[in-house]
Structure 1
Amino acid sequence: MRAHSNPAFRVLPLVMATACLALALPPAASAAEAGFRQMTVARAADEKPAHFALYYPTAELARAIPMGPFPQTVAINGAPESKFKGLIVISHGTASTELGFATLAQALARHGYLVASVEHVGDTWQDQSMRATPGRYFAERPRQVSRVIDTVLADPLWSSRIGQGSDGRPLIGAIGHSAGGYTVLALAGGKPVLSRLRAHCEAEAALDPVLCGLSHGIGSASAQAGGTADGQEEPVQADPRVRAVMALAPMGVAFSPPSLAAITVPVALYAGEKDTFLVPRFHALWVMQNMRGATTTLQLVPNAGHYAFMNTPTVDLPSPDGSVAADPAGFDRAAFLDRLAQESVAFFDKNLRQQ
């Protein structure tokens, strides 16, 4: 991992950070297996049904279960353990799926966390209708995550097991990839400015071509639809229940610098060195440079592409930036995901336990 430094925060190389956390923390409780259930978000009658995948610690035996291109090794409907360290929500990228982060979700569950992986209705592989209304897109993605948190906390089976901080509130963290990286940073307080995204693509489309191809005309479309004026932040609601965030290859260029500077929760940023979907210099590195109030780290993963943070699908899934299954030559995605899973456990153990 390459480490980047800035006087505003501390950055550690990945291996060094893992070692330091391991020394600083007592051994994490680890259940034998990861349980799995699918749940539905309570929504208005005229809205599309929304689902999420729930992973949790269980003593029951896990089996390899085919689930489309992302098989899971889980105990379907296994009995949950009596206590969870906290709740971690996962937000997938655009046109993706809630099942694509099996290694991360299952590792967190085996180490004592309840994990809710969100299906972003209107921005899945089956339905991208939400992208037609940019202002709604940027506001609705974090809102959908908050609805999943509401649903879990309203269910006594799960809410009674979630660990609490010294303030008596549930310990909740979030992980997001790509547009999900935007989503979890928005939950932490980041605010997008659509005219910023438009100006970026007018100036840098040749250097950030995949994103700019997807977002062509997004700023003007918002204005025509009665959205916010140029330079104004979108009215996106943060969720103060989220206490720590991991943003993986985040879409970051649209955020206003003051909103990033105002984020106070711990943030771990990751980016693939060879990401051509969301070029790090315009996104993850730019976010890092504008974070001032939070404990922030950035890991630039050598030789990694945009999809290094997802499990490798069993079929060749197309995307705006090539196959989701493809990696740069020589990159070992499985080994990296195992290491990232350990990092995620250590990150949330440290930053949720301190609260």
Structure 2
Amino acid sequence: MENDKYSGLKKVEVVDDYLDVTFPMLVLYPTETPEKEEKIGPYLVDVSLDAKLEDERYPLVVISHGTGGTPLVYRHLARDLAKRGFIVAMPEHPFNNVKDNQLERTTKLLRSRPKNITQVIDWFDHSDSFKDHINFEDISIIGHSMGGYTAIAVTGGTPTTLPWETGNETPERIDVDVDERIKKVILFAPALGWFRNEGALEKVNVPIFIMTGERDEITPSFHAEILLNGVINREKIVHKVFENAGHFSFLSPFPPEMKVTSFPPSQDPEGFNRELFQQELAADVLSFLLS
């Protein structure tokens, strides 16, 4: 990707009035201030901390990470988008992240995750630093794995619980507020089993780019089929299957010391080049966002 600007980075806190907590969020954005290498969590990233935001309006992209994950594993994609003129929000979902995952496999999580996305957009709408720099008519969401659930739920999907998420194993429909400010959805290996019921996706009516891995054993092909068969306007969906890609191939490459078999997110099917794939992924994402 040809880059026009540098990537600025701010660390902020967002209020979650449903769980009554605040959660951290990284914001990457275009800047003219040169980058330098910074240690963000366990990773080294070239960014310009707290740099000046240029006096323009930019599209907003929210990235929703997978269950028990961290937004930092999408750092390469986020930085590429920021350098190409996007403001990128990377929230850490409360109680469903690498540091604290107590809400995993609960009904409460199904309710809270979509709310986080609306809370993020509201934060920008009230932020003195960013509100005048956001094009609120051009907001997109990228969701990986459980982030895919989040993206579909907040754009009109009606989820129903899975057996282990309720005390009596009785399916329960989850009411989710749709955020109509979101105009496009990009899904990486999405987890969509919650939308298996007939009619669950009939209100989803935004352009969707779904990317899946041929060798994904965590969210295999039936997840994509739920979406492809459930959305009424099939013409709004683009589906791309990446040859030999696994579930975690969509994450930024990990440092050599983290590439061990005991850490599945660092692993890919044999012969898969994650570093090269990230370039193709970023180009595909940018093309869809600009279309």
TM-score w.r.t. structure 2 length? Answer: 0.91
Matched, 1:310 2:251: yes
Q: For 2:225, give the aligned amino acid.
A: L
Residue identity over aligned pairs, in percent, reads 27
- Do residues 191 (structure 1) and 158 (structure 2) align? yes
What is the correspondence of 1:52-91 to structure 2 with a 5 Å cutoff? 52-91=25-64
Q: Kindly state the Cα deviation for residue 179 of structure 1 after the two structures are TM-superposed.
A: 0.3
The one of the two structures with greater contact order (alpha-carbon pairs below 8 A, sep at least 6) is 1
Aligned counterpart, 2:179? 239
Q: In the aligned structure 2, how far is the partner of 1:184 from the partner of 1:263?
A: 10
Q: Equivalent of 1:179, from 124, 127, 146?
A: 146
Measured after TM superposition, the shift of residue 251 of structure 1 is 0.5
Give the structure 2 partner of residue 16 of structure 1: none
CA shift, 1:304, in A, is: 0.5
Deviation at 1:118, TM superposition (A): 1.0
- Cα-Cα RMSD: 2.3
- Return closer, same or farther for 1:54/1:42 CA change in 2, 3 Å cut-off: same
Equivalenced residues, count: 288
Q: Cα 1:156–1:170, aligned 2, differ >3 Å: closer, same or farther?
A: farther
Once residues 238 and 17 of structure 2 are traced to their aligned partners in structure 1, the CA distance between those partners, rounded to angstroms, is 39
Say yes or no: does 1:114 pair with 2:56: no
Name the TM-score, length of structure 1 as normaliser.
0.76
- Partner in structure 1 of residue 70 of structure 2: 97
Matched, 1:140 2:81: no
Does the CA-based 8 Å contact 1:107-1:342 persist in structure 2?
Answer: no
Letter in 2 for 1:69: P
Identify the residue that residue 212 of structure 1 maps to in structure 2: none
How far apart in 1 are the matches of 2:84 and 2:154? Answer: 24
Do 2:57 and 2:132's aligned partners in 1 also have CA atoms closer than 8 Å? no
How far is the alpha carbon of 1:145 from its aligned partner? 1.4
| CA-to-aligned-CA distance 1:62-102 (integer Å, 9 cap, x gap) | 12222233332211111112113311100000111111101
CA contact (8 A) 2:16 2:116 kept: no
Equivalent residues in 2 for 1:197-346, closer than 5 Å: 197-198=162-163, 217-218=164-165, 220-221=166-167, 223=168, 230=171, 232-255=172-195, 256-280=197-221, 282-293=222-233, 295-314=236-255, 315-316=257-258, 323-346=264-287
Letter in 2 for 1:41: V
Residue by residue over 1:28-65, the C-alpha shift from the partner in whole angstroms, topping out at 9 and shown as x without a partner, is: 99542111111101345983330100000001111222
Deviation, 1:137, is 0.8
**Larger radius of gyration, structure 1 or 2?**
1
DSSP-derived class of the 1:285 partner: helix
Alignment check: 8 A CA contact 1:70 1:100 kept? no
Provide the rounded CA distance (Å) in 2 between the counterparts of 1:257 and 1:266.
20
Amino acid of the structure 2 residue aligned with 1:244: K
Change (3 A) 1:46 1:235: closer
User: For residues 46 and 103 of structure 1, do their structure 2 counterparts lie closer, same or farther at Cα, with a shift above 3 Å needed?
Assistant: closer
Unaligned runs of 5+ residues in structure 1 are 1-27, 164-168, 199-216, 351-355
* Structure 2: runs of 5+ lacking an equivalent: none
Provide the C-alpha distance between the structure 2 equivalents of 1:79 and 1:53, rounded to a whole number of angstroms.
Answer: 15
**Deviation at residue 336 of structure 1 after TM alignment:** 1.1
